[in-house]
Amino acid sequence: MADDDLKTLMTAHAALARKRLTWAQTIASPGEIPEGAIRAIIEVQQAIDVIDRAIEELEEAEELEEDEELEEDVD
């Protein structure tokens, strides 16, 4: 189950990274920078940060679970 969750989070991260690149390209285009693009890239980055934190938490939980299993095997 955790592997599926991690795969889902990584897929979401990749999708958001592509969206961030799209907004960055819009911002980098010649001319005035659209205010909406600035807000959008900030929102996308915040979502990426949330996904990254979820990935970290999942990995920490998996490590803790593995440690507990090792301790049970030793006992």
Place 71 in a pLDDT band, splitting at 50, 70 and 90: confident
Supply the pLDDT for residue 68: 76
Q: Which of 7, 14, 17, 1 is nearest to 55 (CA)?
A: 7
Structural domain total, the chain: 1
Q: Would you state the pLDDT for residue 5?
A: 94
Q: Which residue has the tokens 């999708």?
A: 15
Question: Which domain covers residue 57, as residue numbers?
Answer: 2-74
44 and 19 Cβ atoms separated by less than 8 Å = yes
The string of pLDDT tens digits covering residues 10-26 is 999 999 999 999 999 99
Amino acid 22: pLDDT:
97
| Dist CA 70 CA 61 (whole Å) | 14
Percent over 70 (pLDDT), the chain: 97
Closest to 52 measured CA to CA, from 22, 20, 25? 20
Global pTM value: 0.83
